[in-house]
């Protein structure tokens, strides 16, 4: 694949209307950028895991070996668990806000939390 092909694919627009989750377009853009960076970090994490596993098994660490690596069931499960925890950490604030909307007792301002800590 040439550089032009990669750029064309990276900038291709999906068919259909883009889903929006927030009212503010700026928030949507920041979320989109954040998730793109998070995806790249996840890919790097998997490649590092592959390198570590190749080294532990005494296999040569080459680009070809990394690209050809297929994790066993245990490694795949460990990776899946890491991904779930990673996404949960990234989206924690969104999850907390959704929970606060569902339960008023959780809907506490930072100032109120600080005041409670000082009172205790």
pLDDT digits (tens, 9 = 90+) for 68-95: 999 999 999 999 999 999 999 998 888 8
Residues ≥6 apart with Cβ < 8 Å to 22 = 28, 31
Q: Residue 53, Cα to own-chain centre: how many angstroms?
A: 22
Q: How far apart are CA 75 and CA 56, in angstroms?
A: 13
Percent pLDDT > 70 in the chain is: 86
Which pTM does this prediction carry? 0.66
pLDDT of residue 14: 67
Residues with pLDDT less than 70, the chain: 1-4, 6-7, 9-11, 14, 20, 106-107, 113
């Amino acid at each position: 694949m040439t550089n032009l092909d990669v750029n064309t694919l990276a900038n291709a627009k999906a068919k259909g209307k883009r889903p929006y989750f927030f009212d503010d377009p700026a928030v949507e853009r920041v979320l989109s950028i954040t998730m793109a960076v998070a995806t790249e970090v996840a890919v790097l994490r998997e490649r590092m895991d592959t390198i570590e596993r190749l080294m532990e098994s005494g296999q040569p660490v080459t680009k070809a070996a990394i690209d050809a690596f297929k994790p066993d069931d245990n490694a795949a499960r460990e990776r899946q668990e890491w991904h779930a925890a990673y996404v949960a950490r990234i989206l924690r604030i969104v999850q907390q806000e959704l929970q606060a909307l569902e339960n008023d007792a959780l809907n506490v301002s930072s100032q109120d939390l600080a005041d409670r800590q000082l009172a205790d």
